[in-house]
Amino acid sequence: MTTTKLYLVGFMAAGKSTLAHALASTLRWNAVDTDALVEERQGASIAEIFATHGEAAFRAAERTALEELAPRQQLVVATGGGLYVDPENRALIDRDGVAIWLDVSLKRIIERLPRDGRRPLAADRVGLERLYEARKSAYRQAHLRLDADAAGPDELVERVHEWLGRQPQTK
């Protein structure tokens, strides 16, 4: 398999943005974060978009960002936590590149999440646990699962390179 695009998927605070930059550096590719792209295009933070326009507006902006990235190559994309859950987004990602799931336990996620309101869906801990469990079935459909609970970026980068090296090459 020859790919020119990697999509990092997983729950919020899984480390997708950090790994995207580390991977892009070793591949000599570019890294893009869909959440940052949405914030840039909308001129507002995700929390502000949720508060002002609602989750549906954010998801629409997220889809637009994903579609804008489709023609680009040599790219590592850190996706928002809910982006891969949507079947249309998942199909686009799966056609366009390799989806890599950063699997992190809910305990570790909670440790990493700031309590400053920047993560609108993290405010309600009971709801957060339900959301986490509900999204796992979508994440399981990724091409590669990385147990990222205790592994740092360097180890994860190495695992991705090893996995990519074992994939059959296509022309």
Contacts 24+ apart (CB under 8 A), 17-22: 17/78, 18/153, 19/78, 19/102, 19/148, 19/153, 19/156, 19/157, 20/76, 20/77, 20/78, 21/76, 22/153, 22/154, 22/156, 22/157
Q: Where in the chain are the domains?
A: 5-162
CATH superfamily of 5-162: P-loop containing nucleotide triphosphate hydrolases (3.40.50.300)
Q: State which residues of the chain have pLDDT below 50.
A: 171
Question: Which pLDDT does position 8 carry in this prediction?
Answer: 98
Question: Which pLDDT does position 126 carry in this prediction?
Answer: 73
What tens digit of pLDDT does each residue of 94-140 get?
999 999 999 999 999 888 876 655 555 556 677 888 999 999 999 99
